[in-house]
Structure 1
Amino acid sequence: MAANIQDVIMLVGDSLTQRGWEQGGFAQLLAERYVRKLDVINRGLGGYQTDWAIPICEQIFAKQDEQHHVRNVKLLTIWYGANDAAPAPNTRHVPRDRYKANLSHLIKMVKTPTSAYYSPETRIILITPPPVNEKQRGNPESPRVFETTRSRQGSR
């Protein structure tokens, strides 16, 4: 008997994505809304930033010659930036220009016809890191500060 393979929504990102399966999280809500239509695959990795995301995505994105054997990714969310926005010299810090270049690279992996990972059916949603209220967080060791996070919002 052949299995009916359902297309998917793939979520890639940092801990904000990883925690999407928590009660009321966005991954959970997507899975409920798209039940029996699309499966939700969560590839959020806590602590990761865009420099580290590229080699991971090269492992989890299907190459063109493999795509007929796997489920089609209909929607891809890319949600990085919280760790990239850590102030230097934190090891997670990624300068804004490189952050933008890394996001562009991730998009081009999927949307450029000459890319090994080209997937013309896939739609992409970029999600920027949410604002941070330093006073409310009250954690002097926090890897995120308002100014560096703000510089990631709306970056394309």
Structure 2
Amino acid sequence: MVGPVRPQFVLFGSSIVQFSYSHLGWGSILSDLYARKADIVLRGYSGWNSRRAVKVLDEIFPKNATEQPSLIIVYFGGNDSLLPHPSGLGQHVPLQEYIENMRKIGTHLKSLSNMTRIIFLSAPSVNEAQIYGDSELVGQRLRTNESCRIYSEACLELCREMNIKAIDLWSALQKRDDWRDVCFTDGIHLTAEGSKIVAKEILKVIKEADWEPSLQSSSMPTEYGEDSPYDPIGPDGNTTINISNRTFYGTVQWK
């Protein structure tokens, strides 16, 4: 591990997480906003469902780790919600099993530390027309927006029961009238516009949470943020400008 040790924010989930640095994704937005404040750690596994995730909880999140994450953002549900294939193969997980798997994940993560905060992302909506076009996918339409809704609501209900912060991605993406046209690269995965919605929802939860200490980027110390004579020279030619808190995206649009 390189130092100094920073707070860790872990993104854990399937392809929505793995691809969160693509297309100006929501993971890259968080990394930029938390530069020099927290390390955004990517643990995304394309194609995974909750059944596979629970098998590796102890490996990815060992309880005896010296340092535990300050925040863990979890996303599973989109693949679980696929309709079952006649062969019995594939990513589908029955609804009740999905709920219990997410309960296991939540219970494990809660046990890591009293200071570990958790946010669950629910199954997002999908654009079926974009996924399938004019033909069936291997003869089956397994991914439907309605099934995503059912699994999303189940995740949100579990989070209310377990007192875990949750984001309703299924509804959040559909707040835009043109969501089908602008939110997806392929009907499932997110464009830059779709990721902006996810990032704003995450930052809203962080801002409104009564967590102590706060995990808002503006409230966290900047590593080596003190003024320095080695900073860029200011317009007057006699002073320097501290640029330690500047980011590519800026902060105004995320407030």
Task: Give the TM-score taking structure 1 as reference length.
Answer: 0.86
Q: Does 1:88 align with 2:87?
A: no
Q: Which stretch of the first structure deviates more once superposed, 20-29 or 41-50?
A: 20-29
Check whether the contact 2:10–2:43 (CA below 8 A) recurs between aligned residues. yes
Say which SS state the counterpart of residue 21 (structure 1) adopts.
coil
- Report the alpha carbon displacement of residue 21 of structure 1 after superposing the two structures with TM: 1.0
- Report the alpha carbon displacement of residue 143 of structure 1 after superposing the two structures with TM: 4.3
Equivalences for residues 42-57 of structure 1 within 5 A:
42-57=42-57
User: Which structure has the higher relative contact order (CA within 8 Å, separation 6+)?
Assistant: 1
1:30 counterpart residue number: 30
Q: Does 1:79 align with 2:75?
A: yes
Equivalences for residues 86-125 of structure 1 within 5 A:
86-89=82-85, 90-112=89-111, 118-125=112-119
- Report the alpha carbon displacement of residue 111 of structure 1 after superposing the two structures with TM: 1.4
- Report the alpha carbon displacement of residue 119 of structure 1 after superposing the two structures with TM: 1.7
* Residue ranges of structure 2 left out of the alignment (5+ in a row): 159-255
Say which SS state the counterpart of residue 46 (structure 1) adopts.
coil
Check whether the contact 2:84–2:142 (CA below 8 A) recurs between aligned residues. no
Q: Does 1:41 align with 2:41?
A: yes
1:115 counterpart residue number: none
State the distance in 2 between where 1:94 and 1:80 align: 11
* Residue ranges of structure 1 left out of the alignment (5+ in a row): 113-117
**Greater share of strand residues, 1 or 2?**
1
Say which SS state the counterpart of residue 151 (structure 2) adopts.
coil
Equivalent residue letter for 2:48: Y
Task: Give the TM-score taking structure 2 as reference length.
Answer: 0.54
Q: Which stretch of the first structure deviates more once superposed, 131-140 or 145-154?
A: 131-140
Correspondence for 1:136 among 130, 139, 143: 130
Identity %: 27
- Report the alpha carbon displacement of residue 25 of structure 1 after superposing the two structures with TM: 0.5
- Report the alpha carbon displacement of residue 83 of structure 1 after superposing the two structures with TM: 0.7
